[in-house]
Structures are given as C-alpha cells and as structure tokens.
C-alpha cells in the first residue's frame, strides 16, 4: 500500500513538472515580446542556476560527503557542466529563435521529437534500437509533415529552427547519460545553467539590445522560465524518478507537448488547424510508443 502511494505521489510530481514545462513554451513566446532571444535565455538560465544552488549545498550536507568539491571531481564536474551547458546553449537558442516565428503549441510538439531522435543517434553510437522506435519515427515524420510542411513542400522558418533544436536536445540527453552517472546530477545541472547563461549573455551583449527596462517588461515570463521551468520542475523530476516506474515517467513526460498546445490555446488564443491537430496526434503517439515499447514487449515476453 505504501509503495502504491509513493508511486502515485511520484506520478503526480511528474505530471506537475510536465505541465510546468509545457506552459513554459507560452512564457518563452510571451518573453519574445519584450526581450531578444539570447538576452531572454541568459536571464532565465541565470535564475535557473541560482535556484539550484541551495539544492547543491543541501545535497552535499545531507550525504555528509563533499566528494565533488575535491580537486579531481571539481575538474570533472566543470568539464561535464561546460559540455552540457554548451549543447544546451545551442539547443535553447535555436528553440528561442524559432519561437519568434511559430506558436507555442507547435514548438512543444516539434521539440518533443527528441524522444525518437535519441535512439536513432544512439544506433549510430552502436546502441541497440527496438522496433517501437521505428514505428515512432514513422509516425513522427508523418506528424511533422502534417504539422509543419506547407503545400509547396517547404517548412516554416520557425518550425525548422525548433526542429534543429530538437536534434540538439537529443545530443544533450545522450551527453547527460554519459556525465550524470559520474557526478551529482543537480550540481551538473546548476553548472550547465550558468554556462548557458554566460554564453547567452555574451552573445546578447555583442549582438542584441540590452536594457533593464526590457527585463522589467518581461519579468513574469523570465521568472517563470527561470524559477518554475528550470528550478522547480527539474527538482520535481529528480525526486519523482526515484519512485516512478520508467513506463509511467515516459508517458507522463510526453504530456509536456500536449500541455504546450493547451496552454498556448488557453492563454495566447493559438488555434491549430485540423491538419495540424492530426499531426500532433501522430507525433504524440509516436513519442509514447518509442518510450514504452521496451516495457510492454518485455512484459508480454
């Protein structure tokens, strides 16, 4: 009974995290009305890193060990954090630029393609690939065509940037899989947020208009993107995945794209055409199949 309660609580945490991340697409879209993309990312990831700092200290005290503060581990964490932060910088920059030209709902579904791209990249890195991924890729390609490809077989500029962002997020997931088992994951995330913030602010300083007035105007989207999306949602995910079964986590986290579409419609009044809605359905089913197939197949076997 107690185990069931822990699983239910973990599932609720994951659902809240998925909703926060889905709604973050709206915050990013609104933020573009006040700040240019690199400036917006720089501020929000700076806030995200600051949010995680207390968790890094709490974790170190709770475990009564400061191994990652030793010379060797600090070097490893800094290298890992820099690599993750650099990849995240490219991915988030492409996403934020794409958000200027596309809707929050479409961006949510296209970004979610990383779920099926990760196994494909893993295949070229000599990792096994299951049949569910093949089906997921086919459905996702059909969905992307319905959602983003025009009648003249061209893709909208914003959707193309977000698609590239999804590819970069797949490399980010693979990089996390390499570094996370070696070091404290919250400490790694904290560093990657600060690296992303620094790179974004450097680009913004040279190529964008920077003003405190812009921060004031876009304060709520920035706070949501920084504290809620980066700090709170990430913490909920880390806590929840200690108890949530992988199949539960896969399905619930896939709802991020659905929440992006729903909040885009509710808050921004975005409306998807019937063709686009069918595209979203195909992409969502493809993403879910790619994640849960190994668990269903294993159970049936």
Q: Across residues 83-93, what is the average pLDDT?
A: 95
Number of H helices and number of E strands within the chain? 13, 0
Model confidence at 184: pLDDT above 90: no
Q: Structural domain tally of the chain?
A: 1
Model confidence at 169: pLDDT above 70: yes
Closest listed residue to residue 58, CA positions, set 195, 238, 229: 238
- What CA–CA distance (Å, rounded) separates 165 from 228? 21
Predicted confidence at residue 194, as pLDDT, reads 95
Predicted confidence at residue 298, as pLDDT, reads 63
Predicted confidence at residue 231, as pLDDT, reads 79
Q: What pTM value is reported for the model?
A: 0.84
- What CA–CA distance (Å, rounded) separates 292 from 247? 6
Q: Average pLDDT, whole number, for the chain?
A: 83
* 146 band by pLDDT with thresholds 50, 70 and 90: confident
Predicted confidence at residue 2, as pLDDT, reads 60
Query: What share of the chain in percent tops pLDDT 70?
Result: 87
Residue 12: which residues within 8 A CB-CB, separation 6 or more?
none
Q: Across residues 215-223, what is the average pLDDT?
A: 90
Model confidence at 22: pLDDT above 60: yes
- Domain range for 98: 2-300
């Amino acid at each position: 009974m107690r185990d069931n309660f822990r699983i239910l609580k973990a599932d609720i945490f994951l659902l809240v995290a998925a909703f926060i991340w889905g709604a973050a697409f709206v915050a990013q879209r609104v933020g573009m009305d006040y700040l240019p993309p690199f400036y917006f990312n720089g501020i929000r990831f700076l806030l995200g890193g600051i949010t995680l700092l207390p968790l890094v200290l709490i974790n170190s005290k709770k475990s009564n060990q400061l191994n990652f503060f030793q010379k060797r581990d600090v070097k490893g964490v800094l290298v890992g954090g820099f690599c993750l932060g650099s990849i995240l910088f490219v991915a988030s920059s492409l996403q934020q630029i794409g958000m200027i030209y596309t809707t929050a709902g479409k961006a949510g579904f296209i970004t979610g393609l990383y779920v099926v791209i990760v196994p494909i990249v893993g295949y070229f890195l000599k990792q096994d690939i299951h049949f569910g991924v093949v089906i997921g890729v086919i459905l996702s390609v059909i969905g992307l065509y319905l959602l983003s490809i025009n009648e003249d077989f061209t893709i909208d500029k914003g959707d193309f940037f977000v698609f590239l962002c999804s590819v970069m997020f797949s490399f980010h997931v693979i990089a996390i899989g390499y570094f996370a088992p070696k070091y404290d994951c919250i400490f790694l995330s904290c560093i990657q947020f600060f690296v992303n913030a620094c790179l974004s602010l450097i680009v913004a300083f040279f190529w964008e208009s920077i003003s405190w007035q812009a921060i004031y105007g876009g304060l709520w989207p920035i706070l949501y993107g920084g504290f809620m999306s980066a700090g709170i949602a990430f913490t909920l995910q880390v806590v929840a995945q200690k108890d949530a079964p992988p199949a539960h986590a896969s399905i619930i986290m896939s709802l991020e794209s659905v929440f992006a579409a729903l909040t885009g419609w509710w808050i921004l009044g975005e409306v998807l055409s019937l063709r686009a809605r069918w595209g979203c359905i195909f992409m969502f089913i493809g993403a879910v199949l790619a994640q849960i197939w190994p668990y269903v197949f294993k159970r049936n076997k």
